[in-house]
A and B are shown apart, each in its own frame.
Chain A
Amino acid sequence: MYLLKIAFRNLFRRKWRTITTAGILAIAIIIFLWMDALLVGIENMSFDNIINLESGHIQIGRTDYFAEPYEDTLDKLFKPTEEHLATLDKSEVITGFTPILDFPAIINNGADEFPIQVRAIDPQSYNEVFINQDFIVAGEFVKSNDGGLVIGNQLAELLEFKVGDYFTILFRDKQGWFNTIDGEIIGIMRSPHPEMNLNTVFIAQDNVYTPLGLESRTISHIALRIEDREIAQHYAAQLSEDIADKELTVRTWQESAKMVMAMREAGQLENIVLLGLILLIGAVGIINVVILSALERMEEIGMMKALGLLERSIVKVFALEAVGIGIIGGLLGCGLGAVVIAFFNKYGISLATFGMSEELHYGIPIVDRLYGAWNPPAFLLIFFFGVVVALLASILPARNAARKDPVKTIYHR
């Protein structure tokens, strides 16, 4: 306690030195926290967009379909049985489910063609699970018994499609013959999931079974919405038991978000490297402070030792001082970091700041503005880490100072 008091007093003897060194730590912490908020924000928004527009929370489909959905798609379909549907109906966790038939095709505007993914849906139940219809910018979303096609705005731009234009989609049917579906574009969607705006088109299921040569109600997978995305993994495991069908796999949205997770990992790595470099300089700063303080207090130290203070206790005083700088830096960094993140979370930043646009999205499923997110564990972790770095950096120079011969130091001059 006594040593703590000395350390505390020492901390404020050279205010500029303490503040600048704590400042280095604080800067490292602010940068780390902000980058972390950015990464978590990207992740949060991406996950929401993937779930709400592409995958739903949970998908049920054949194991071989999930393994390689783009090859031989039509051989990997299934027809949900009454029991399957009854199981889903009974569940209290599921708030909606919809059968989906995804298959690859080529869309043609009469001059050029482009490969796409056709999503044949049951409009009524689809809207209970997904929110694609909220992002229609022209025309309307798919309705039952309607042969029309809804496309994304980027595809529309690329192929110069407008609502009311005629399209042809070309694909191979179940027997392997080429077949087409023609019709009118009825709606254009601009969703916050850029990939979907280019690659995916929507059509009502009733229109595709005959041209594909499939029995009706055959689907590639069922998409489910549940209450909370965090419980998806847990619930999927349970659902898998309930359905108990060897051919079918129950998988969660995480499978569709792998790219985002990889990005997060890459970002995290960069963040840690940057943090490490700044902390390296921070550590040199702490060592500097301890050496300077020790030099200044040479006589003091000699006197304390002469009066019987143990070397260990002297090291402790210096270490506590360094920890003090770590705590000041940590508090400053976390405090200012929180302010920065609060602003960031509230107002967001335009993705254009990072040079991103709808065309150049690096596969990140977000458009327009990016908002950060709170991640309390990061605050705790970085605070703790800063203090530990300060402590570790101080020990060697402090021991060096404490080892000096008391007689020599008192007669320093």
Chain B
Amino acid sequence: MKYLTKIAIRNLSRNWHRSLIAVLAIAAAVMIVVFARGFLLGFTEATFKIYIDNFSGHVKLISPGYQNREMLLTLNHPIDGIDGEGLATMISQLQEIETVEHVLPRLKFAAMISLEDKLFRMVGIGVDPTAEQTYGALPEDIKEGRMVETSGEIVVGRGLLQELKADIGDRFTFLFSDAYNSLQARTFTIVGIRDTGLEQLDENTFFVNLSEVQDMLYMEDEATELMIFTNSYREADVLADDIQNFLQENNVSEKYTVFTWDKADPFIEYFNAAIGIYDFIYVFFILLGCIVVINTMIMIIRERTNEIGMMAALGLKRSDIIKLFTTEGALIGIIGSLLGALIGGVVTYYLSIVGLDYYSELVGDMGDIIMVPVVYPVFNLQNLLFSFALGAVITILACLMPARKAALLEPVQALHKDV
């Protein structure tokens, strides 16, 4: 084998122009794969994180009736604990489950501000400041001021703040319907500004202390949803099973449903399906690159027909000839993939720092779809290794065909063949 490898290396250097272009073809394909994977990973992780942090948690627990009416911000399908024992008890029970890391109760309600002649409609979210602090996504997005601490305080989105032409310290009176559908009003002071950088999230939401929302809506110890987190979003399925078991043990599996983050929003579901399709596209790109390698191999074999005949006549076995040419192809594949992974890696690494502004000009017109405007491709070794392996393996497989063709030549005819 070592001997064959040596021949293969010498053969490749016989015409370095030709070898180089074959190597470059594979390198280009692998580079595209590295970059595309890095980009997609960066895009999806960022998008998933937005959905997980703001809407679904790793697993979302709601009442089944709330599922299709979340858009209405209905208060008629709350979570009021197991057998109505109250939310606080239920949360502490949930936290005893081993896989559960954080439980964030949230109570969403519709609210309005009447300012001058205008009516602003917005979504109020009651949050538990201590619980939010442990997870950290919401406190992190508060760019000015601070989190709500006591009653009478709110944190508003940057976009909403601008619309209200307000600033920290200003007071506003909110109108809202309580759980009994009667109109109420309450005055709040702005203590913090939330800025996620995403217009859709910042333009109409504000955050209030959960205990105060429960009090003012007459929903003592209740919430509309629980966002539950485990270590990583990849372990959401395990978490969902554990919670499902917990609900069954307590005979409330009818009363509440749980969703993993990837089922909570149809957009994410679609996104996950699309990622599967991309795997085929990667293979397709490398196959395109392989066509160049195959063409080169065919020419090499034609050029060396006499040589092959001679080697065969001198007793080299068919399997050895296949090995020899496959080794040549493999070297092209390996060097090309290595080069592609390196260049792709450098490009991805660079962009993972500066970011790629792909959508920001379009996002404003895109309506309801929440996407990150600037994508930071993810640079990781796993991606480089995968792309390298994919490139090398496909190239080697593709070379088997011309190599076999070479091995099937009759030694006598091959020797006599005039090129």
Chain A interface residues toward B at CB < 8 A? 16-17, 20-21, 23-24, 27, 71-72, 111-115, 157-159, 172, 176, 258-259, 261-263, 265-266, 277-278, 280-282, 284-285, 287-289, 291-292, 295-296, 354-357, 359-360, 362-363, 397, 400
Contacts and interface: CB of A to CB of B under 8 A. Distances in A.
Nearest to B74: A112
Contacts of B289: 281, 284
Given A72-B117, A262-B365, A111 B295 contact: no
Contact of B291 (A114, A159, A285): A285
A42 to B, nearest CB: 14
Contacts of B292: 281, 284-285, 288
A363 B367 contact: yes
B298 A259 contact: no
A280 B366 contact: no
A360 B295 CA distance: 46
Contact of A112 (B72, B270, B299, B369): B72
A111 B76 contact: yes
B267 A360 contact: yes
Interface string B292-307: 1011101100010000
B285 interface: yes
B46 interface: no
A259 B25 contact: no
B74 A357 contact: no
B359 A266 contact: yes
Interface in B16-51: 17-18, 21-22, 24-25, 28-29, 32
B369 A291 contact: no
Given A284-B21, A295-B15, A355-B269, A363 B368 contact: yes
Interface in B352-397: 359, 362, 365-369
29 contacts: A20-B295, A24-B288, A72-B118, A111-B76, A111-B181, A113-B72, A158-B69, A176-B117, A258-B365, A259-B365, A259-B366, A262-B362, A262-B365, A265-B362, A278-B285, A281-B25, A284-B292, A288-B21, A288-B296, A291-B17, A292-B299, A296-B299, A354-B270, A355-B273, A357-B266, A360-B266, A360-B267, A363-B366, A397-B21
B384 to A, nearest CB: 19
B71 A158 contact: yes
Contacts of B359: 266
A291 B269 CA distance: 47
Given A262-B362, A263-B365, 12 more contacts: A71-B118, A72-B118, A158-B69, A159-B72, A266-B359, A266-B362, A280-B28, A295-B15, A295-B303, A296-B303, A360-B267, A362-B368
B1 interface: no
A23 B362 contact: no
A243 to B, nearest CB: 29
B273 to A, nearest CB: 6
Contacts of A20: 291, 294-295
B32 A292 contact: no
B314 interface: no
Could you tell me the dominant secondary structure of chain B's interface residues?
helix
Contacts of B274: 355
Interface residues of B, number: 47
A114 B18 contact: no
Given A71-B118, A158-B72, A285-B25, A21 B291 contact: yes
A115 B118 CA distance: 15
Contacts of B250: none
Contacts of A357: 266
A289 B267 CA distance: 44
B255 interface: no
Contacts of A111: 74, 76, 181
Contacts of A159: 72
Nearest to A364: B367
Contact of B68 (A23, A158, A262, A362): A158
A263 B295 contact: no
B121 interface: yes
Nearest to B270: A355
Contacts of B28: 280-281, 284
Given A72-B118, A295-B18, A362 B291 contact: no
A332 to B, nearest CB: 14
Contact of B366 (A27, A72, A157, A263): A263
Contact of A21 (B15, B119, B295): B295
B276 to A, nearest CB: 11
A72 B117 CA distance: 8
A172 B303 CA distance: 86
Contact of A262 (B117, B288, B294, B366): B366
A289 B299 CA distance: 10
Contacts of A280: 28, 32
A38 to B, nearest CB: 15
